[in-house]
Amino acid sequence: MALDRKIAYINLTTGEIETKPIPISIRKKFLGGRGLDMYLMYNHIKPGVDPLGPDNVAFVSAGILVGTLASASARTHVAGKSPLTGFVGSTNMGGFFAPEMRWAGFDHLVIKGKAEKPVYLWIHNGEIEIRDAKNIWGKTVHETQQIIREELGDRDIKILTIGPAGEKLVRFANVMTEIKNAGGRSGMGALLGSKNLKAIAVRGTMDIKIAHPAEALDYDKKVITQVTSAKVSQTQGRIGTPFIWGATNTQGLVRVRNFQLNQLENADDVEAEAIDEYVIGMTGCFGCQVHCRAKYIIPEGPYKGVYDEGPEYTAQGAFAAEPGCRSTLTILVGNHLTNIYGMDLLETGSLIAWAMELYEKGILTDKDTDGLELRFGNDDAVIEMIHRIARREGLGDILAEGGLRAAEKIGKGSIKYLIHVKGMSNLHSDERPTPALALGIATASRGSDHLRSRPAIDLYHLPEPVLRKIYSQPVAYDGPLTSDYRDYEGKPWQVFWHETCYEAVDCLGICKYHTTFLGATLPNFEEWSKLLYYNTGLEMSPLDIWTVAERAYNMERLFNLREGLTRDQDWLVDRYFDEPTKLGIPGIQGKTINREKLKKMIDEYYEHHGWDENGVPHPETTKKLDIDKEPSHML
């Protein structure tokens, strides 16, 4: 059955491995994936542990629909206390790893302790083995997967791995699978590296029995048609996520030269159409018909002929807009290097751009950079700094600690120029003209974030009746809504709604691009209720799924509060309030975020959650969600 996969507890210090079934009562409370991981985090991580110490715990999971025929049911979730922020560490990626892990018999791995020497896990049809990783330690992400497959004699093995950045404990190192499926943000690669865990290899042939196969096939097909008929999906399938750049840069909604400008001018070579010239085909994740990921070969230079996949919209910002570069080649190479090193490209590009502004202002000098001219627009410097960060060389060693620790080391007022929330650097977006998006990054549980609560459809100028239809299900809402993304009214509910929506998505294990993220007509709670029933047999209404997501998000909040989070950290850096936007279309120019209005939005956002004025869940909230007795240690 789809609900009979197990949880495994793996102690790398002692070598002990224990497997257990997951009780149906826990399923109904947290479903799977990110939701159940948040419960496990709160129960298995002791307060105040060193994120890079052996007492931190890593969690690897599949969502409850993963491996079925539900649309884009491929997502892997990895969690633990973040080495970058000290708060919730959580990342989600596509590919084929999570379905294979389910076919191998497991939904959740709880990894404790630290191996004495480098190891990897080999999971096959209900069996788990800890194996020597001496021969793959130091290898790139791509090399590691090839070596393991050759060693185990099966090219169909799926592998989650860290690269050299994770081994060197770069605090924003990724976990990776396949060529470019990246579990980015919050440094889960560093967490695995701290445990001397290089990789997890899985191979499974255990069937997942669908509860109602005929109905599931019919409804799965209906949802797939709903997804693939959407214009946004068709565009992604043709040129991938870089299509987003054309709209955001044209309007003036990207940050350029760190945070000095909000539009990259004369940037034809950054457009999706320029990148598309080097694309040799499109591919996708398990169960996905959109195929939004490009395949490309680097056309020239030191990496000529190298194959990789992507780049995504985020690479256009990390290696073009933020450092003020305009080269397609820099985007392609930067994407490739962060892939093979296993390093978060958003954090990498943001920190390089920050260092460039510090260099421009004389806070960093040639002595600090070992002679590297860290000027905005210097493509060679961007590529060189990627290497230095991953290898922890010179200034790269300082940046590898993340922005807050680096600012403390550099001093000289450098923190003023760091664009972050809770110690996590922002995406290359500029939220000064968009209060909803600004609120979303300010309050996101893992730090500045575009995948936890971003109401991207707020940018579409949708009519109020359409907004009302979306935002009044499955929980009624009769408050204000506005079609103008520059307004403040109604935005706290939109952020809260999307936050709950994306938590549910991550519990189910499906892709956000197949939900109300970029497409207003794409599936959400109503469809998920039916997908869940037909595929797993679990009867849960749209409201039940909403409650699961709200419960899981409150567990994240409780974890962060236990680790020292305060209301002051649900906030933006001063530049959002003090420096108006300079470029863009007329309605975007001259925009800042209003401090008092943001404070009011946060108050309202807390109220929607059932939290007090400090962002602490009210006792009646935790009781209503049945988490008032946590940690319960039921699993």
Q: What is the pLDDT of residue 163?
A: 98
- The pTM assigned to this predicted structure is 0.98
Whether residue 283 contacts residue 295, with contact meaning beta carbons closer than 8 Å, is answered with yes
Q: What letter would DSSP give residue 616?
A: P
Q: What is the pLDDT of residue 440?
A: 98
Whether residue 419 contacts residue 258, with contact meaning beta carbons closer than 8 Å, is answered with yes
Q: What is the pLDDT of residues 419-477, one digit of tens each?
A: 999 999 999 999 999 999 999 999 999 999 999 999 999 999 999 999 999 999 999 99
| Percent of the residues in the chain that have a pLDDT greater than 70, as a whole number | 100
The CA-atom distances, in angstroms, between 375 and each of 154, 322, 324, 360, 633 are 47, 12, 9, 7, 52
pLDDT band, very low/low/confident/very high, at 217 (cuts 50, 70, 90):
very high
Q: What is the pLDDT of residue 468?
A: 96
The mean pLDDT of 237-259, rounded to a whole number, is: 96
Pairing state of beta strands 17-21 and 6-11?
antiparallel
The mean pLDDT of 379-403, rounded to a whole number, is: 98
Q: Hey, which bits of 70-195 come out as E strands?
A: 76-81, 88-93, 106-112, 119-124, 127-132, 158-161, 175-177, 181-183
pLDDT band, very low/low/confident/very high, at 168 (cuts 50, 70, 90):
very high
d(CA 441, CA 433): 14
The mean pLDDT of 26-41, rounded to a whole number, is: 98
What's the alpha-carbon Rg for the chain, to the nearest Å? 23
Q: What is the pLDDT of residue 2?
A: 81
Beta bridge partners of 25: none
Cα-based angle 431, 433, 439 (whole degrees, multiple of 5): 50
d(CA 139, CA 144): 6
> Backbone phi, then psi, for 61, in 5-degree steps?
-150, 165
Q: Which domains does the chain have, with CATH numbers?
A: 6-203 (3.60.9.10), 239-425 (1.10.569.10), 435-624 (1.10.599.10)
Q: What is the pLDDT of residues 550-573, one digit of tens each?
A: 999 999 999 999 999 999 999 999
Within 13 Å, how many C-alpha atoms sit on residue 297's CB side? 5
Residue with tokens 């005929």: 214
Q: What letter would DSSP give residue 490?
A: T
Q: Is 210 a residue whose pLDDT tops 90?
A: yes
| Percent of the residues in the chain that have a pLDDT greater than 90, as a whole number | 99
Q: What is the pLDDT of residues 69-109, one digit of tens each?
A: 999 999 999 999 999 999 999 999 999 999 999 999 999 99
Q: Is 575 a residue whose pLDDT tops 70?
A: yes
Q: Is 382 a residue whose pLDDT tops 80?
A: yes
Q: Could you tell me which of 428, 366, 364, 375 has the C-alpha nearest to residue 399?
A: 364
Q: Is 498 a residue whose pLDDT tops 80?
A: yes
List of residues 6+ apart from 243 with CB closer than 8 A: 235, 236, 272, 313
Q: What is the pLDDT of residue 1?
A: 65
